[in-house]
Copies of this chain bind each other. A is one copy, B any other.
Amino acid sequence: MDTERRAFDVMSPDCPSRSIMQRMGDKWTPLVFLALESGPRRFSQLRQDIGGVTPKVLTQTLRSLERDGLLTRTIYPEVPPRVEYELTELGATLLGPLEIIREWSQDHAEKILRARNDYDELNEV
C-alpha cells in the first residue's frame, strides 16, 4: 500500500531511519543478534559467545536493543537471578540482513586486508 510514497528516506539528514541504520552497524549489535539467533540466552552466555565485550558495554547494548523493541529482557525471580534475552519478532526480521552482511565481511576480508596493505605501502614510504 505504501509503494508510492516512502515515509522514510535514509538519504535525508533528519530522517529517523538514518539513526536506525547507523545503530545496526555499531560495535556489538550485530554480534548480539548472531548470538541470539538460535534462541534465548543469558547475560553471561552472551558475554562468552561474544568475545571481548565488557559487562557495562554489553548491558548498554542490550538495553538499547530492548528499547527499540528488538529484544526482550525477562527476569526470573530466582536465586541467583536469571535473566534471559530473546529476539522479538521485529528483531528476528533483522537476522536475514545481518547474515548477509556477515557473509560479505567474511568472504571479502582477505581482499580488503590486501588492499589496505597495498595502499599503506604506497602512501607511507
Query: A-side interface residues toward B, CB under 8 Å?
Result: 6-18, 20-27, 30-31, 34-35, 49-52, 66-70, 90, 93-94, 96-97, 100-102, 104-106, 108-116, 118-120
Q: Are A6 and B106 in contact (CB under 8 A)?
A: yes
Question: How many copies, total?
Answer: 2
A58 to chain B, nearest CB (A): 13
Give Cα A70 to B116, complex, Å: 10
Residues of B within 8 A of A13 (CB): 51-52
Contact B67 A90 (CB under 8 A): no
Known: A11-B35, A16-B109, A21-B105. 12 other contacts (CB 8 A): A13-B52, A16-B113, A22-B27, A24-B105, A67-B115, A68-B112, A69-B111, A69-B115, A93-B104, A93-B108, A96-B100, A97-B100
